[in-house]
Amino acid sequence: MPAHAAVAVRWHALILHLQALSFWTIAICTPPPTWAAAVNRTIDDQFGDSVTRQLPSYQPDGKWAQGSQCSGCALNSTNIALSEVFSRTWHDSICHPGEPDRVISVVFRGTAAHVFNLIANDFGGVSTPSNLTFSLDNELVGAFLHEPVPNRNSVMFQQAVYVNESLDDENHSFEIRMNGPTPSLILFDFIVYTSIDSDESSTSPSNSSNTSNAPSQCPFPHLPSQPSDSTRSAQPSAPIGTIVGGSSS
Ligand SMILES: *[C@@H]1O[C@H](CO)[C@@H](O)[C@H](O)[C@H]1NC(C)=O
Ligand SMILES: *[C@@H]1O[C@H](CO)[C@@H](O)[C@H](O)[C@H]1NC(C)=O
Ligand SMILES: *[C@@H]1O[C@H](CO)[C@@H](O)[C@H](O)[C@H]1NC(C)=O
Ligand SMILES: *[C@@H]1O[C@H](CO)[C@@H](O)[C@H](O)[C@H]1NC(C)=O
Ligand SMILES: *[C@@H]1O[C@H](CO)[C@@H](O)[C@H](O)[C@H]1NC(C)=O
Ligand SMILES: *[C@@H]1O[C@H](CO)[C@@H](O)[C@H](O)[C@H]1NC(C)=O
Ligand SMILES: *[C@@H]1O[C@H](CO)[C@@H](O)[C@H](O)[C@H]1NC(C)=O
């Protein structure tokens, strides 16, 4: 073998070795990703938040009924299939003109919210139009109006009456309000909100290595972290944090 060929082979081996070394150095020294997953939580009308257990508040007192068990309500388990209703419960109120506003308030931290109600059509003498407004952090953000279809005594289940998928990942106060110049009915079932769970102890698949104090042992400086804003706006279920192994691209 000519000498220069042997040198070339050795250089080649050395470069491969360095590449492998730097790969492992990066793999070991990169801070552990913070695993963040978008998960849905529910706020049930009766049982409250599936995680925080916080209950919705209903104003004014005495003007609300648990619809599933309401012997005086035109719509109750006699004519509504409980199996179609989330957790088999809903809150019922009718607001007549001049009466105090009916208000449901909840608080949650999340990036999206979906409100689901039962919507009723024509049940004879019952007032079933539904005229609602929605406020987030004291700002009016939406409205919902349903006029019953005449002569159709049907109930529609799990109807999204308000959806907002562009919330900041912060605490929000949210309000559903009913009032207006005509009688209005609400049959509130539940809210789904999307929480960004960033919980290293429960969701990281490589939980065993606590490397938050490892940097001082790394021979090379850290790669710059990915800006978290750009990863956050990517797939909601993707891990937020530095992605290891970019050298293959
Ligand atoms: C949360 O629930 C809403 C409404 O059902 C759905 O559109 C959304 O895809 C869900 N998000 C997640 C992360 O499951
Ligand atoms: C439902 O309400 C009606 C009156 O509107 C009543 O006769 C019936 O007993 C109620 N059913 C239940 C399960 O409370
Ligand atoms: C969602 O909420 C934000 C305020 O947090 C508001 O600016 C935006 O208009 C809302 N979007 C919808 C579709 O209601
Ligand atoms: C959000 O609310 C919860 C519960 O009230 C509180 O513990 C937390 O500190 C709040 N977070 C922010 C960012 O305000
Ligand atoms: C719905 O309620 C709003 C006030 O919240 C009112 O301005 C509007 O006229 C009502 N719509 C109907 C059809 O009653
Ligand atoms: C993650 O590590 C913590 C602390 O070392 C430990 O208490 C916890 O049980 C671990 N969780 C899993 C899922 O391994
Ligand atoms: C990880 O290490 C840091 C710094 O030593 C420590 O404060 C923290 O409690 C550790 N976490 C776990 C889950 O062991």
pLDDT tens profile 130-187 = 999 999 999 999 999 999 988 888 899 999 999 999 999 999 999 999 998 999 999 9
The single-letter code of the amino acid at 96 is H
CB 197 within 8 A of CB 109: no
Q: Residue with structure tokens 């492992």? A: 24
Q: For 89-133, how does the pLDDT look when each residue is reduced to its tens digit (9 = 90+)?
A: 999 999 999 999 999 999 999 999 999 999 999 887 787 899 999
Distance of CA 192 from the midpoint of ligand 3 (Å): 16
- Ligand 7 site, residue 202, Cβ cutoff 6 A: no
Give me the residues paired with residue 34 across strands: 240
Residue located nearest, by CA, to atom 7 of ligand 4: 171
Regarding the beta carbon of 142 and ligand 3, being less than 6 Å apart is answered yes
What's phi and psi for 248, nearest 5 deg?
-80, -10
Closest by CA position to 132, among listed 115, 141, 119, 144: 144
Give this prediction's pTM: 0.69
Give the tokens for residue 189: 């079932």
Q: Which of 35, 204, 207 to mutate to test the pocket of ligand 6 (most atoms within 8 A of CB)?
A: 207
In sequence order, which residues have a C-beta less than 8 Å from that of residue 42 and are 6 or more positions away?
A: 49, 50, 86, 190, 191, 192, 193
Quick one: which atom of ligand 6 is closest to the CA of 204? Answer: 13
- Cα-atom radius of gyration of the chain, to the nearest Å? 28
State residue 197's pLDDT score.
80
> Nearest residue CA, atom 11 of ligand 3?
164
Q: How far is the CA of 59 from the centre of ligand 2 (A)?
A: 24
Give per-residue pLDDT as tens, 32-60: 556 678 999 999 999 999 999 999 999 99
- Both tokens of 163, joined, read 């959806």
Q: How much of the chain, in percent, has pLDDT values that exceed 90?
A: 57
How many Å apart are CA 160 and CA 157, to the nearest integer?
9
How far does residue 197's CA lie from ligand 7's centre (Å)?
Answer: 19
User: Is the distance from the beta carbon of residue 207 to the nearest atom of ligand 6 less than 6 Å?
Assistant: yes
CA of 3 relative to ligand 6 center, distance in Å: 55
For residues 216 and 89, the model is more confident at 89
Res. 30: pLDDT tops 70: no
Residue 78 Cβ < 6 Å to ligand 2:
yes
Determine which residue's CA is closest to atom 4 belonging to ligand 7. 213
Token pair 């509504």: residue: 80
Decide if 183 contacts 129 (C-beta within 8 A).
Answer: yes
The answer, yes or no, to whether any atom of ligand 3 lies below 6 A from the CB of 166, is: yes
